[in-house]
Amino acid sequence: MCGIVGLFLKDPSLEAALGRMLTDMLVTMSDRGPDSAGIAIYSKAAENRAKITIQSAHPDQDFAALEADFKTTFRQSLTLQRKNSHAVFEIPQNQIDEIRARMREAHPGIRVMSTGDNIEIYKDIGLPRSVAERFDVPLMQGTHGIGHTRMATESAVTTMGAHPFNTGPDQCLVHNGSLSNHNSLRRQLQREGVVIETENDTEVGAAYLTWKMQNGSSLGEALQSSLDDLDGFFTFVVGTKDGFGVLRDPIACKPAVMAETDQYVAFGSEYRALVNLPGIAGAHIWEPEPATVYFWTH
Amino acid sequence: MQIIDLDQTNLRQANAQLQSQSNGANQTEWQILNPKGAHAIAVGLDAPINVTVEGSTGYYCAGMNKQARLRINGSVGPGVAENMMSGTVIIEGDASQYAGATGHGGLLVIKGNASSRCGISMKGIDIVVHGNIGHMSAFMGQSGTMVVCGDAGEALGDSLYEAKLFVRGAVKSLGADCIEKEMRPEDLAEVQALLERAESTAKPSDFKRYGSARKLYNFDVDHAGDY
Amino acid sequence: MNKPPETAAAPRTEPIQSATFTPAVNAEIRRAAATGIYDIRGGGAKRAVPHFDDLLFLGASVSRYPLEGYRETCDTSVTLGTRYAQNPIKLDIPITIAGMSFGALSGPAKEALGRGATAAGTSTTTGDGGMTAEERGHSDKLVYQYLPSRYGMNPDDLRKADAIEMVVGQGAKPGGGGMLLGQKISDRVADMRNLPKGIDQRSACRHPDWTGPDDLEIKLIELREITQWKIPIYVKIGATRPYFDTTLAVKAGADVVVIDGMQGGTAATQDVFIEHVGLPTLACIRPAVKALQDLGMHRKVQLVVSGGIRNGADVAKAMALGADAVSIGTAALIALGDNDPKWEAEYQALGTTAGAYDDWHEGNDPAGITTQDPVLMARLDPIAAGRRLKNYLKVLTLEAQTIARACGKNNLRNLEPEDLCALTIEAAAMAGVPLAGTSWIPGAETPF
């Protein structure tokens, strides 16, 4: 049970303020989710470069070891932009798999939070305001982002249990609700070779979407088939490289409010999350219909 | 005019002021500023006072209202006027889900659209929606009247008891045991009266009536598939 | 003349009833085939499940010294709802009367519960149908249930209550609701609930205006605003995932968590629900307590346990496992006179026998308790029945004190899991106490 916020900017002049606006929306949703918080922000990496966001429980030593290893193994300098227990760095796009394999092999203490051309994910336990400040989210800029505050239902309160979940390049998912068949679905996906790390029902939802897309579905098609394959109550907000999407289950008990102006499309679990957005007084405010996929792209 | 600014006053103080008004209240005109989506605004009122809320609210605005007349110049979150006993609540904008849930009396008017489960489990409240209503509206509606000038979503009046439903627009689908019924002179009169009180100029003759088929009232094994 | 050996009576095989297709099971199959509808009854789970009888107290010995009865006090009082409310509820004994509706019970029965509870210094609880004037009048401390149906719900009664109990579910039917067919309601009850007379009752399984603990948090704030933050709000849960549910209830803002095991009774629901959904009461206490401890809220958010509490030993055991109080329903009704053998001839006429009668929804209760029939209702004298309840509550308290003193405690709340041992492996695992005579707690290596 949780709070979700999302902001998709149509007006580039707002990009510098994306992190600040998203943080403000996120903090308003703290009551819905005091356990942990996370944010995914999309901003373009340099040409032909991709980004990896990482996290470690021992960042000083693990990140230093990574930098040293990078020099010797890849003969490249690693520019780690450090943010508390997380860090983000850019690498050549064509070396993602190689680098990830090396990290898995030689740096098991480092968790990969996200990979993609544009995405960065920061998430941790604690109240939303302190999580956002820990990672300098208010200073971030970008084209779109989604955020999540968590009240854990049936799995533990841990860093990796926080949302958003990234299980594909530039793709992430946040969820409000409770899936009721996530255990069976997890086992099925694991048999298909999908790696799922936590007992969290949302991670199963994210893995399901990614698996569908790896097997040829578009994101819209994957969301559509999730209505058949996922059971329970859910409002999903998914982020992709170019945009974001919203889907509510057919029963649609979990809340969802959207606002649109010439400058942005915004999502909040409660209207309260949207009240400080520019031009909100004149915005078109509506609630997404159940069992309907909504999508916005740049 | 008594003004409560929620940027200056916290919710408890605001509600305490309004709740302490009684039948002989001198202060009958109240205005609430800067609601900014806050929850539980003006709940549990019990006095014949007029309250205007300037802006949009969160959940449960005017919950359990008795006697008070409220006008919200904005939209409202889930559960507006839930369990209302009497009085009037008018929403100039839209209402989220569960509008008027389990209401026992009074009149709830939504000038925009209402979302899903409008009038769920209604127990005597009257609800008039100028726009559309969402799915599962009037679920298990026991009594009271709902008038919808726009369209109704899926499963209207599922498991309905004796609540009366009037819809002018299209009904996406009817719920279990809900059927269309004929419009009688007393229905036209009732709809006319409610539309006037709801500040609507719609014509009663454009509406269709829906009510319980009463087949679920006493179990019949041959209808077991309906349950 | 001698018969030839082959025609003498040969030994027959012994008729053996199946343990799977028992006479009771076969009778139920025949009934289902005849009617086409599930069996509905009242009460809680009847089948044997691990329960408090499988636990024993370790009394004083050489290492532990007992307290003298009567002179060396053993305090039994408890305060419920200290977290947020201005006026928490102070009880003389840690045993409350659970929610049972007027409608399920007769007016005199509700009055008797109020009288007995008040005399014993504890609270009663309304049920699915609202607050009656008689009940508010006779109960010194009354908890008002806030249910999915919202029958009779109104702000005036909410403000007259001493506490609110937000009912998420109950032990007999966690997740339950649905079309409850065959439960007829009387005219008075139909009026109170604003339903047509003579119809089959239906129950909603979810609250109409909130779903999930994040929305529950907002709903609790609304209820507090309506009652000026004066009274505590309990959250009652049917035991299924007690660790998570307790955690979420606390995060949503509960003052008190009430967990009801599968032996907890109901007025009427499908038998298949009662017997096959839920957890034994014994299994839900330690996870709930652990959830409170993990949040640092044990004793700050109080835990009330119900479902099959029968004697002072059960009270003491529940408290030793970490509960702040217990709640009784079925036991209270039996103390009033429910299922008394003196009505045996009438039970037989109904096709049942004293102790087994559970078709309360049909309204024929010979004891006059679970009925609205005026002739039957008149058999219960609410004053005498109230006295019986008070006596019974007194005995529960004395028994619990006797045990606590024997364990060296001057306060029932100081009973702890280490005062217990288990007779079976199941009970040891569920209660988290060692098997008697050993130090082995099964499952302790994989803590919840």
CA torsion through residues C96, C98, C102, C105, sign? negative
pLDDT at A75: 86
d(CA C369, CA B144): 33
Considering only CB atoms, B123 lies closest to which of C35, C194, C219, namely C194
By Cβ distance, the residue of C36, C182, C225 closest to B40 is C225
pLDDT tens-digit map of A126-148: 999 999 999 999 999 999 999 99
A172 among known catalytic residues: no
Distance (Å, rounded) from C-alpha C238 to C-alpha B158?
Answer: 27
Which residues of chain A does C213 touch, with a Cβ-Cβ cutoff of 8 Å?
1, 151, 153
- Could you give the CA distance from residue B84 to residue C154 in angstroms, rounded to a whole number? 8
Residue of C nearest to A34 (CA): C251
How many distinct helices (H) and strands (E) make up chain B? 2, 11
Q: Which residues contact C212 (CB under 8 A, 6 or more apart)?
A: A1, A177, A178, A233, A253, A254
Q: Rounded to whole angstroms, how far apart are CA atoms C353 and C343?
A: 9
From chain C residues 206-235, the ones with a CB under 8 A of any chain A CB are 206, 211-215, 217-218
Q: Enumerate the residues of chain B whose CB falls inside 8 A of the CB of residue A271.
A: 37, 56-58, 75, 77, 96
Half-sphere exposure of residue C269, counting CA atoms within 13 Å on the CB side?
26
Is-contact C435 C428, C-beta < 8 A?
A: yes
Of A35, A233, A269, the CB nearest to C211: A233
Q: What pLDDT does residue A31 have? A: 86
Supply the DSSP string of C360-379, one letter for each residue.
GGG---TTSSS---HHHHTT
pLDDT in tens, chain C (448 residues): 565 556 568 899 999 999 999 999 999 999 999 999 889 899 999 999 999 999 999 988 887 787 776 666 788 999 999 999 999 999 999 999 999 988 889 999 999 999 999 999 999 999 987 898 888 999 999 999 999 999 999 999 999 999 999 999 999 999 886 545 555 577 777 888 888 887 877 778 899 999 999 999 999 999 999 999 999 999 999 999 999 999 999 999 999 999 999 999 998 899 999 999 999 999 999 999 999 999 999 999 999 999 999 999 999 999 999 999 999 999 999 999 999 999 999 999 999 999 999 998 888 999 999 998 899 999 999 999 999 999 999 999 999 999 999 998 889 999 999 999 999 999 999 999 999 999 999 988 766 5
Euclidean distance between CA atoms A153 and C111, whole angstroms? 40
Cβ atoms of residues A199 and A179 within 8 Å: no
ipTM of the complex: 0.96
Task: Note the pLDDT tens digit of each residue in B67-114.
Answer: 999 999 999 999 999 999 999 999 999 999 999 999 999 999 999 999
Is the Cβ of A177 closer than 8 Å to some Cβ of chain C?
yes
Query: Where are the alpha helices (H) located in C227-337, listed in sequence order?
Result: 242-252, 271-276, 281-294, 312-320, 330-336
Per-domain residue ranges for chain C? 50-337+380-414
Helix axes C382-406, C107-120, angle to 10 degrees: 40
Q: Given A271, A286, A289, which is nearest B77 (Cβ)?
A: A271
> Which site among C168, C206, C210, C214 would you substitute to test the A interface, given the most A Cβ atoms closer than 10 Å to its Cβ?
C214
Domains of chain A: 2-44+126-297 (3.60.20.10), 48-117 (3.30.70.120)
The DSSP H or E segment spanning C40 is strand C40-41
- Give the pLDDT band (50/70/90) at residue A160: confident
Q: Find the helix packing angle between C213-226 and B11-19, rounded to 10°.
A: 40
Active-site choice (A2, A22, A27, A110): A2
CA distances from C353 to A74, C358, C371 (A): 84, 10, 17
Percent of chain B with pLDDT over 70: 97
CA nearest neighbour of B97 among C113, C191, A235: A235
Q: What is the model's pTM?
A: 0.92
What integer pLDDT is reported at residue B225 of this predicted model? 65
Cα of first residue to Cα of last residue in chain A, in angstroms, is 30
* Res C53: pLDDT: 98
Q: Mention the CATH class of domain C50-337+380-414.
A: alpha beta
Q: Are strands A264-268 and A2-9 parallel, antiparallel or unpaired?
A: antiparallel
Rounded to 5 degrees, φ, ψ at A274 are -100, -10
Distance from CA of C210 to the nearest CA of A (A): 8
Strand partners, C166: C146, C235
Cis peptide, bond prior to residue A164, ω within 30 of zero: yes
Q: Return the H-helix or E-strand segment holding A296.
A: strand A294-297
The sign one gets for the Cα dihedral C355, C359, C364, C369 is positive
Say yes or no: C377 contacts chain A, CB-CB below 8 A: no
Q: Where on the phi/psi map is residue C296: left (φ > 0), alpha (ψ -120 to 50), or beta? A: left
* SS3 call for A34: coil
Contact assignment for A272 to B58 by CB distance below 8 Å: yes
